[in-house]
């Protein structure tokens, strides 16, 4: 009897221990939170090399394979309220397994992908204390396949998403990757007669001369004039005039509706342009520099001796150079006007540099009217394009900056600042009327 009792006690104790171990293990296993919101990487991700350093390089994921462990796969999104954020990715691998490291909000999490089918992979839950733009970085550690992984979406859930999440959806994959464009529309004083000349200045601060930037100085109803960063080695001063014939293909423009070149400056390249309306384009390859101020002068007037045609001429100069460079003079048919709808803008035309911030100061705007009177333009309306208005991206700002720099515009980079669209801004009058000898202009 004693042996049986001892055996019974031993068996009972064993079941008790097993039951307690199982219970303990169940308490440690937490269910994966629901993550129902998908951020497509096609529109919201870039590859970075040396991110957040002066030597940072950025690339579009679709342009290369993810084979280099130094590449960081970065996805941006904007959270609008505090709370808990559940975070994961939807990913697959061609074969074998990959080890990755995820970085988010100061946290570092090890991941493994070993499925050839796309699966949701939970990264973690995080407390969001400061709403705004944030990003998820993922870096490869080791792999058995050619690429580290194919990540289709970043997936989100939790209370922090209930205030809304802003990201680039499929409708805006292209334009959203470029980033929002911003504009300043200038108010012409009521007492001015028609505008004959439009003068303005732009200064791009050091570090803001990002590839793909177009700092447009003197826009008007039929064209635009400014300067660009086209590559690591090329910069341009660009002056374009639209044809009155509406098409994105310049080859479709009838001969009687083409803009005609009247003259061009030394070394200026002239051709047709399309894809944003069509017309005549002229540009000077010119190594302008960040930190320096450049001057833009535009003339518009009905063509002498012609019916229903208007001539537009553009000149460019550095503040350190009294000599003006002629860019070009174009004649536009079916048009009889002086300069109208004066504006400036800042845009990025390169999807690769969409996550890099850039800004410029727009200052000292003047017009000379047909009565020979100068008027300073110190009031402007800040606007933005559909990418901003539809909230595909909210990294845009503009308005009055300070007395020295005047107006400013800023875009791209996924910064948190957002300026109200369709608002008016005024800078103090400076009284620095341009000193131009018109008879000596080339």
DSSP string, 271-305: EEE-SSS-EEEEEEE----TTSEEEEEEEEEEPTT
Strand, coil or helix: 206: coil
DSSP state of 41: H
Q: Which residues pair with 107 in a beta bridge?
A: 104
List, in sequence order, every residue forming a beta bridge with 133; answer none if it has no partner: 78
CATH architecture of structural domain 37-167: Sandwich (2.60)
Name residue, tokens 């969001």: 128
Q: What integer pLDDT is reported at residue 27 of this predicted model? A: 38
Rounded Cα distance, 1 and 66, in Å: 72
DSSP 3-state of 278: coil
Rounded CA-CA distance 209/204 in Å is: 7
DSSP 8-state symbol, 355: T
Spatial separation of the C-alpha atoms in residues 49 and 55, rounded to whole Å: 8
Task: Name the CA dihedral angle for 433, 436, 437, 442, rounded to a multiple of 10 degrees.
Answer: -160
Q: Are strands 374-377 and 309-318 parallel, antiparallel or unpaired?
A: unpaired
pLDDT of residue 4: 37
E-strand stretches of 115-251: 119-128, 132-143, 150-157, 165-166, 182-186, 195-203, 213-219, 223-229, 235-242
Tokens of 345: 């803008």
The per-residue pLDDT for 346 is: 98
> Block means of pLDDT (10 residues each) for the chain, length 442 residues?
38 36 40 90 97 91 92 98 97 97 97 96 97 98 96 97 96 97 98 98 98 98 98 98 96 96 98 92 98 98 97 94 94 98 98 98 98 98 98 98 97 97 98 95 96
Measured CA to CA, the distance from residue 414 to residue 259 in angstroms comes to: 39
Contact between 419 and 217 under an 8 Å Cβ cutoff? The reply is no
pLDDT for 54 equals 85
Residue 30, pLDDT score: 57
> If you search the block for the tokens 């803001």, which residue do you land on?
208
Can you give the residue ranges of every domain in the chain? 37-167, 176-440
């Amino acid at each position: 009897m004693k042996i049986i009792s001892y055996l019974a006690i031993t068996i009972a104790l064993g079941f008790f221990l097993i039951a307690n171990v199982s219970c303990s293990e169940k308490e440690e296993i937490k269910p994966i939170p629901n993550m129902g919101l998908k951020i497509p990487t096609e529109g919201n991700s870039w590859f970075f090399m040396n991110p957040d350093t002066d030597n940072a390089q950025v690339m579009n994921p679709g342009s290369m394979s993810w084979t280099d462990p130094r590449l960081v796969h970065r996805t941006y999104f904007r959270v609008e309220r505090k709370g808990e954020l559940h975070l994961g990715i939807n990913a697959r691998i061609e074969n074998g397994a990959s080890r990755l490291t995820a970085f988010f909000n100061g946290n570092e999490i090890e991941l493994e992908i070993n499925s050839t089918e796309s699966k949701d992979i939970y990264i973690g839950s995080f407390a969001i204390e400061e709403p705004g733009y944030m990003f998820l970085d993922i870096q490869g550690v080791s792999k058995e396949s050619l690429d580290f992984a194919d990540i289709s979406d970043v997936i989100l859930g939790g209370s922090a998403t209930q205030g809304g999440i802003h990201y680039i959806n499929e409708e805006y994959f292209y334009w959203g990757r470029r980033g929002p464009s911003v504009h300043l529309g200038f108010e012409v004083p009521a007492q001015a007669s028609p505008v004959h000349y439009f003068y303005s200045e732009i200064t791009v601060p050091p570090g803001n001369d990002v590839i793909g930037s177009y700092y447009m100085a003197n826009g008007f109803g039929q064209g635009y004039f400014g300067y660009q960063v086209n590559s690591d080695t090329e910069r341009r001063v660009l002056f374009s005039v639209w044809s009155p014939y509406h098409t994105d293909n310049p080859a479709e423009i009838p001969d009687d509706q083409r803009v005609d070149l009247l003259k061009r400056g030394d070394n200026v390249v002239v051709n047709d342009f399309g894809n944003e309306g069509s017309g005549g384009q002229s540009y000077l390859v010119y190594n302008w520099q960040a930190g320096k101020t450049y001057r833009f002068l535009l003339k518009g007037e009905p063509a002498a001796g012609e019916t229903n045609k208007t001539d537009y001429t553009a000149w460019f100069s550095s503040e350190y150079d009294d000599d003006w460079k002629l860019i070009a003079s174009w004649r536009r048919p079916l048009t009889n006007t002086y300069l109208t709808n004066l504006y400036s803008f800042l845009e990025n035309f390169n999807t690769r540099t969409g996550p890099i911030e850039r800004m410029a100061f727009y200052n000292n705007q003047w017009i000379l009217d047909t009565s020979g009177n100068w008027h300073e333009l110190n009031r402007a309306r800040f606007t933005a394009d559909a990418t901003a208005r539809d909230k595909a991206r909210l990294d845009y700002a503009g308005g009055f900056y300070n007395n020295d720099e005047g107006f400013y515009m800023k875009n791209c980079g996924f910064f948190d600042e957002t300026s109200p669209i369709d608002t008016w801004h005024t800078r103090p009058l400076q009284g620095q009327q341009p000193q131009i000898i018109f008879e000596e202009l080339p």
